[in-house]
Structure 1
């Protein structure tokens, strides 16, 4: 008669030879004779698992583990069975115990990591992957998976180290290249595109890799490359809403507004419940509120849609409703620079200067803000004691902003500070005579040592400026006496001398609405008793080549080198008529009579529903009665101009 060990050996031979029915019969007879024989329980359990009888297999393997708890092989096989039955938590527990019994087994550490990851035990999974790489440092897969978990945990430096090692070990590991690219993107590494491009080659069916490559190109402003990658993503996954949204944005940036709208409408047909899609569509529908309302119906707390609707209401001059929405957007996301920046513009337009200045400081955190922070190490001056110390005031945003807010420089000096001023080179001659300013530097020139720094548009906050305390004494800038005398002689003669400016910087957001263009001003040229002088520089000047101008008009642009020349000319004029752009601020700062032509939704500094400006006492404001109605503005200006010219006769 065979011994127990001999019977087990025969049963195992039958089992491995695929003669499962004979093996099962023999395992059964062994267990009938010795019900608690752990090896027989273990082997019979494996056979049952092979045959798909998982519940019976779990019972047999569980009994084997109970009888021999220190046997790691039993626990590993029971763990695999738990995985097969959809219980990764139980599997992880068995693998973990087995690994404690056999700590140098990569075959236990690696599946432990997978099971732990399935049940959200990230730290345990990471530790198990790392244990695997210590035991077998030449394995790429655990190295890659460790890197992926580290990336998800925000531990970018460690993730990069692991993922770089993974692609060295296995250069064809597409997933590792993909996650390496995403991690490199986080630190803006120049190798990002190369890593993601390699992932795209190795993962030809992976839409997400193409989406991430498109996102990198988009963030870098490479619109064409972004469009190509995103189209590739959509070819694999036509309903990928992230790719559709980004493709629409890229096409809009590249000037393909039509495709952008078609892409978004495709997205919204597939996913009418995507608030992001409705919000993105609203960007192609200036003035319309429909898509924004749809976005908020889907997601009432969509911060972008809230701010977008609030901005549209602001442009419709519905300020109370606009501010309510802005307040809601800020409450939802108090740390959002965009939400506070948007609210600042509505507050300032409404005349709430203190609240507006406070929110205005968020501008440096806005992704597409036109000026980047100066990056100076000196602290920002916010209005504290400064007597006996030195401060650098520096330009930001446009030249008009610099001219408007340089008025604060003498006030800083009046507090006992030594004041240095840094501006664009074309402003240096104009600002050199500013009272209290010790020296004016062109941007890029070496600077002396200083204790404090402050951007010009942060000065109103530092002085807690309210409408009733705007420092409005003019002139606070003066023309160079020699230049002014030369221009006075050149422009001498009869008639009302009127300077004209009709366009601003076309790269400025909203310039299309604020710049009327030369054609709109043409009725003014028919007003008798006036001599007109073109002060227009920049892109708007080329409009002159397309129009026949009357003898009463003289173009002075060819003789204007900088703002000091413009100031000298304005000092010799009776009136400056300008759109909302830098020369308007210059005329106001010089105390020259100024008429400003404003759109229906003007820039915040001109406030609402008033014909005067607290910033410029010599200014008169002419506003569009309705959006786009420049004809109404021109008619009013022409009538006023005729009256003024007649008064000189």
Structure 2
């Protein structure tokens, strides 16, 4: 007769080999022989989770709790499963249940603190970070994420301290190196900031671009060297760092840039014909070096003093004129209030549409929608359905008297075109907008209006209302 203990051991061995199908089959056999064994249900749930069978995994964990009520490990695994499924309320409940069963469960304290930080519940997040660090003062991730919590609260000295404590605990902790880099950039320490920003690949678990070409980091190269720039991150990042393309021609005889197709026409219209733009790359032959786009500032040793802030993108003149003929006469203001929902922190930078009411109540303004494929308030004129790419959006924006936007690609596009722009900025601003200042070294045409507290959109919108009325 088969032994459930032996089958479970065989299942664990299969799991260690990453043979999840065999592990699932063996653990199920074990459960059929010992259906009242909570540990088998827990391990079976872990295997199902690895297979992506989340609903079945949840049932397995709940079965473990049925046979062993108030089991901290089962509640903790249910919390982790809910987190994977982005059910943050359920995750919070399961982590709290874990701590009810075992108040010294370090990882439940840590996960709950991190989750509460993401939910904007800062006070209880502090309590659980304190509890985790009391149990393990060298918990590197807890030290880092407590620094991140302080960063969210704009308590930068404490943020820096805890990032440094995390690095003291683990000098190779890439996320802390990266976070210190972005904090340096936020505070205007440009060169150390770019160095820390180079840790983004390991910190964010992003794959480095696959290429056998040597990486260029700013060193002197031969006169016939040819550079491949590989775009990365979002459209806003690409628009922001495209300003450096002409500078690369001072180092390379040819520069080619791999970009999304939506930017091809705009960049082709805007930059020297010596810069080639491509949207697909079959092979890397013909290039001598490569660089990821967001590393160009590091290679060029960019500081505030080397940024002019002047416009560097150009909309097609014929397209600009076509929109000029089509749009009504009057003071035209474009609005963008929502960022990419795929961004982890999008909920904090995006503005609920009802908060726009004071702006839209201003008379003598033609309000224009700048959100592509997002339902707009009825007061906005919506021409976005006629856009095919960023070239079309640029030609449209070039006809506006003012752009008002949350931290989205629209801000970078308008700023790069030199169009007067108001950025409605979240309390814990992104590194590129720095702190306190109302201007930006990146774009001379941008004015920054900031929240005074988390989710305080009333303050910057009220200031924007006054700014619009002063320009009418």
Using the size of structure 2 for normalisation, the TM-score is 0.90
1:334 aligns with 2:171: yes
Identify the residue that residue 261 of structure 1 maps to in structure 2: 92
Q: For 1:382 and 1:573, how far apart are their aligned partners in 2?
A: 39
How far is the alpha carbon of 1:587 from its aligned partner? 0.6
1:177 to 2, 7, 10: 10
CA drift at 1:235: 4.9
Cα displacement (A) at 1:442: 1.3
Worse-superposed segment, 509-518 or 427-436 = 427-436
Shift, 1:242, TM fit: 4.8
Q: 1:355 to 1:556 in 2, by over 3 A?
A: same
Of 230-239 and 597-606, deviating more is 230-239
Aligned residues: 459
1:163-312 matches, within 5 Å, as: 174-175=7-8, 177-185=10-18, 192-204=19-31, 211=42, 214-215=45-46, 217-218=48-49, 222-235=53-66, 241-286=72-117, 287-288=122-123, 289-312=126-149
Cα distance in 1, alignment partners of residues 93 and 297 from structure 2:
45
CA gap of 1:259–1:533, structure 2 versus 1, over 3 A, is: closer
From 268, 283, 286, the counterpart of 1:449: 286
Shift of 1:503: 0.7
Separation in 2, partners of 1:533, 1:256: 35
Structure 1 272/451 Cα, relative in aligned 2: closer, same or farther at 3 Å? same
RMSD: 2.6
* Among 312, 334, 343, the residue aligned to 1:476: 312
Residues 381-416 of structure 1: CA distance to partner in whole angstroms, max 9, x if unpaired? 111123421111111111100000111121111223
Q: Which runs of 5+ in 1 are unaligned?
A: 1-166, 186-191
Quick check: 2:20–2:51 contact (8 Å CA) kept in 1? no
SS in 1 for 2:415: helix
Which of 419, 424, 434 is the matching residue for 1:592?
419
SS of corresponding position for 1:284:
helix
Contact in 1 for aligned 2:28/2:44 (Cα 8 Å): no
- Displacement, 1:283? 3.1
Aligned mate of 2:236, from 400, 419, 428: 400
Partner of 1:558: 385
2:368 maps to 1:533? yes
The counterpart of 2:409, out of the listed 582, 601, 604, is 582
2:449 matches 1:622: yes
Larger radius of gyration: 1
* CA distance in structure 1 between the partners assigned to 2:134 and 2:98 by the alignment: 17
1:59-97 CA-partner distances (Å, limit 9, x unpaired): xxxxxxxxxxxxxxxxxxxxxxxxxxxxxxxxxxxxxxx
Q: Which residue does the alignment assign to 1:146?
A: none
569-578 or 321-330: bigger deviation: 569-578
Instruction: Specify every segment of 5 or more residues in structure 2 that has no aligned partner in the other structure, as ranges.
Output: none
Q: Deviations over 1:34-73 (max 9, x none)?
A: xxxxxxxxxxxxxxxxxxxxxxxxxxxxxxxxxxxxxxxx
TM-score (norm 1): 0.66
TM-aligned CA deviation for residue 373 of structure 1: 2.4
Residues 334, 243 of structure 1: alpha-carbon distance in 2 compared, 3 angstrom cutoff: farther
Q: Which has the higher contact order (CA 8 A, sep 6+)?
A: 2
Per-residue Cα deviation, 1:417-445 (whole angstroms, up to 9, x for no partner): 41111111111111113226532111466
In structure 2, the residue matched to 1:515 is 350
Q: Would you tell me which structure has more helix in proportion to its own residues?
A: 1
